[in-house]
Amino acid sequence: MKCPVCKDVTLLMSEKRGVEIDYCPECRGIWLDRGELEKIIEKEDNFVQSNNDSQNKTNENEKYNSKKKRKESFLGEIFDIFGD
């Protein structure tokens, strides 16, 4: 499939956690097939809920520890297709 913006560039595919993403290596545009946006939203909601549940279990001292690394969101991970 050709990029709708660049016209002559072929889209590449990347699969992240069960969601297939078509993207243009030239303009970096991202296109999703029917139902893929809903999958991404559902997975992000599950990720956020899971992250909130685990944060609620930590004590106050751990919450304010500046050295603690924040978990990256599912959306950040799924759209990191150019890092592959």
Using CB atoms within 10 Å of the CB of residue 71, give its burial: 0 to 12 exposed, 13 to 18 middle, 19+ buried: middle
> Quick one: which of 35, 34, 45, 31 has its CA closest to 75?
45
More confident residue, 70 or 49: 49
66 has pLDDT over 80:
no
Using DSSP bridges, classify how beta strands 30-31 and 19-23 pair: parallel, antiparallel or unpaired: antiparallel
pLDDT tens digits along 12-43: 998 887 888 899 999 999 988 899 988 888 88
Question: Hey, what domains does the chain have and what are their CATH numbers?
Answer: 1-57 (3.10.20.860)
What angle (nearest 5°) sits at the alpha carbon of residue 28, between those of residues 18 and 84? 50
The predicted model scores a pTM of 0.58
pLDDT of residue 46: 80
